[in-house]
Amino acid sequence: MEKCYLTIGLEVHCQLLTKAKMFCRCGTDYIGKEPNSLVCPVCMGLPGSLPVMNRKAMELAIRTAMTLHCEILPRVIFHRKNYFYPDLPKGYQISQFDFPIGINGTLEFMGQGEKKKVRIKRVHVEEDAGKLVHEGLNIPSECSGVDFNRCGIPLVEIVTEPDLHSPEDARDYLTMLRSIVRYIGVSDGNMEEGSLRCDANISLSLTEKTMGVKVEVKNMNSFRSVYHALEFELSRQQKCLAEGKKLFPETRHWDETRGVTVSSRGKEEAQDYRYFPDPDLLPHTIEQVILNDIQSNLPELPLEKKERFMFDYELTETEANVLVQDCSLANFFESCIKELNKPKFIANWVITEVLKNLNDLRQDIQHSKITPAALMDLLKMVDRKEISGTIAKSVLEDMFQSGAKAKDVIAKKGISFMSNEKELEKIVHQIIEQNPQSIADYLSGKEKALHFLIGQVMKVTRGQASPEIVKNILNKELSAERSLCGPREPF
Ligand SMILES: [Zn+2]
């Protein structure tokens, strides 16, 4: 078929990390709570209740907009976005319309090894809706329940211009955005728990200059599902166009189990929501001094950190990328370096072994039992060649599971540091006697034979010897052997 041009724009909702909801004092820590236990007349929209703006939420939204290089609109006006849905008790959502917090921003991300830039159309604040529950203990099979605990929790919505052109781009942009909201402490960005949600607008056209028909895809709750939903939508629309069928604007839901998008309704336009300024919330202007304060406290961002890591610690781009993706991991790495100034060596352990253990335990570094000091106690032993890397790996695994100190794990496992030279010398002699062919090979100049001999010693000691010490002893013994043989002269 003819070449198609794909355009994607993303709308991301991030739950802001505030203690209270957007317009009332109810708590936001709703996970695992009894349904409808975090509610009050304001978030339930009862008559006579009045909303009061949460200042912290506004600060976090401004911080997000500033980080995304937006132009800040200090005039705050809240609008009512009217629509009917059972999880929205007021019949409208308080949101922002023609005066968002920020406009015209940009975000840079790494997409398939290339630095890419997306324009950010707007950043605005709004309140979340409740949640329909279709199954549970007290819900009869023919009914649905509604839990308003989430209703009124502050969200920041980040809308891109249609600047993304592949499912990979969309996934990489989201990865960077999540990393940023975590870096600046505005959201935990946890997609699985719903604190980061993404809707995608996708259109396919036959010419590069015109946009196709805009289809919105919702209900994707992981980076993987965003990627697969977009891939599916791309091939569905391609097929439609190839068959000469007409596409029409609509909202489609991603069905994770079936791996397809399903049409759910025609797409609403802004006029369908009958936006009007909320008469209960007066417009106001954010003072410049507050804006300056937020601006001056923005932390270092992932891409800046990556460049610093490459320059200061001489890490490769791949190494630096892995370390900076999660701010806590980057901090963990930097704390380790303070204990032993060998960044390359430490980076290698963090990227391979630390991440492997975190992955196995499905933990992040913040919630793991390993501290930088604990890891460094172990790595210093490796650095001093007291234990081998193989032993250290198995000790580390135990440390991750039990939280015990390296020394205690080593004692418990009965690992003796076989750095006692006398004992090792005996084993080396034994190996030399058992492998005359390798000795002859080595003496005739085959360096590889030495590695084989070291390997044999490590095998006999079950990996408990220090390879460095074994190598020294072997070298000493073999050079003695060489001088005994004398130079080889032809007869
Ligand atoms: Zn409330």
Cα 216 to averaged position of ligand 1 atoms, centre (Å) = 31
Sequence-ordered list of residues with C-beta below 8 angstroms from that of 252, at least 6 positions apart, any chain: 215, 216, 217, 218, 233, 261, 262, 263, 264
Cα 88 to averaged position of ligand 1 atoms, centre (Å) = 13
Cα 43 to averaged position of ligand 1 atoms, centre (Å) = 4
pLDDT value of residue 433: 87
Domain that holds residue 129: 5-293
Cα 12 to averaged position of ligand 1 atoms, centre (Å) = 24
Q: Are residues 155 and 246 in the same domain?
A: yes
Cα 211 to averaged position of ligand 1 atoms, centre (Å) = 42
Instruction: Classify 144 as helix, strand or coil.
Output: coil
Q: Are residues 479 and 373 in the same domain?
A: no
Q: Are residues 163 and 34 in the same domain?
A: yes
Q: Give residue 146's identity as a one-letter amino acid code.
A: V
Paired tokens of 122: 């707007």
Q: Are residues 59 and 178 in the same domain?
A: yes
Q: Are residues 286 and 324 in the same domain?
A: no
Q: Are residues 116 and 36 in the same domain?
A: yes
**pLDDT exceeds cutoff 70 at 416:** no
Q: Residue 371 domain-assigned?
A: yes
Q: Are residues 275 and 309 in the same domain?
A: no
- Virtual torsion, Cα 473, 478, 480, 486, nearest 10 deg: -170
Cα 322 to averaged position of ligand 1 atoms, centre (Å) = 40
Cα 22 to averaged position of ligand 1 atoms, centre (Å) = 9
Q: Are residues 429 and 288 in the same domain?
A: no
Helical H segments across 40-166, by residue range? 55-67
Cα 91 to averaged position of ligand 1 atoms, centre (Å) = 16
Mean pLDDT of 393-415: 87
pLDDT in tens, 194-242: 899 999 999 998 887 778 889 999 988 899 999 999 999 999 999 988 8
One-character DSSP codes across 377-401:
HHHHHHHTTSS-HHHHHHHHHHHHH
Per-residue DSSP letter, 68: T
- How far is it, in rounded angstroms, from Cα 291 to Cα 335? 31
- How far is it, in rounded angstroms, from Cα 429 to Cα 433? 6
269, 343, 372 from 340: Cα distances, Å = 58, 8, 11
Q: Are residues 347 and 451 in the same domain?
A: no
Q: Among the three residues 383, 412, 441, which one is the final residue of a domain in this structure?
A: 412
Long-range CB contacts (< 8 A, 24+ apart) of 272-276? Answer: 272/83, 273/81, 273/82, 273/83, 274/82, 275/79, 275/80, 275/81, 275/82, 275/97, 276/79, 276/80
**pLDDT exceeds cutoff 70 at 490:** no
Q: Residue 152 domain-assigned?
A: yes
- The CATH number for 433's domain is 1.10.10.410
More confident residue, 430 or 62: 62
Q: Residue 490 domain-assigned?
A: no
pLDDT in tens, 286-341: 999 999 999 999 999 999 999 999 999 999 999 999 999 889 999 999 999 999 99
Cα 283 to averaged position of ligand 1 atoms, centre (Å) = 21
Cα 23 to averaged position of ligand 1 atoms, centre (Å) = 7
Q: Among the three residues 293, 308, 342, which one is the final residue of a domain in this structure?
A: 293
pLDDT value of residue 443: 83
Q: Are residues 265 and 406 in the same domain?
A: no
Number of domains in the chain: 3
More confident residue, 415 or 359: 359
Cα 25 to averaged position of ligand 1 atoms, centre (Å) = 6
Q: Residue 377 domain-assigned?
A: yes
Q: Are residues 365 and 436 in the same domain?
A: no
Cα 78 to averaged position of ligand 1 atoms, centre (Å) = 18
Cα 26 to averaged position of ligand 1 atoms, centre (Å) = 4
The answer to whether 398 touches 478, Cβ cutoff 8 Å, is: no
Q: Are residues 223 and 362 in the same domain?
A: no
Q: Residue 491 domain-assigned?
A: no
pLDDT value of residue 489: 46
pLDDT value of residue 423: 76
Q: Among the three residues 387, 412, 437, which one is the final residue of a domain in this structure?
A: 412
Q: Residue 388 domain-assigned?
A: yes
Cα 28 to averaged position of ligand 1 atoms, centre (Å) = 9
Q: Residue 441 domain-assigned?
A: yes
Cα 42 to averaged position of ligand 1 atoms, centre (Å) = 5
Cα 185 to averaged position of ligand 1 atoms, centre (Å) = 23
Cα 256 to averaged position of ligand 1 atoms, centre (Å) = 33
Cα 199 to averaged position of ligand 1 atoms, centre (Å) = 27
**pLDDT exceeds cutoff 50 at 438:** yes
Cα 127 to averaged position of ligand 1 atoms, centre (Å) = 11
Cα 34 to averaged position of ligand 1 atoms, centre (Å) = 15
pLDDT in tens, 62-94: 999 999 999 999 899 999 999 999 999 999 999
Cα 36 to averaged position of ligand 1 atoms, centre (Å) = 10
Q: Residue 52 domain-assigned?
A: yes
Cα 93 to averaged position of ligand 1 atoms, centre (Å) = 14
Cα 245 to averaged position of ligand 1 atoms, centre (Å) = 48
Cα 151 to averaged position of ligand 1 atoms, centre (Å) = 8
Cα 149 to averaged position of ligand 1 atoms, centre (Å) = 8
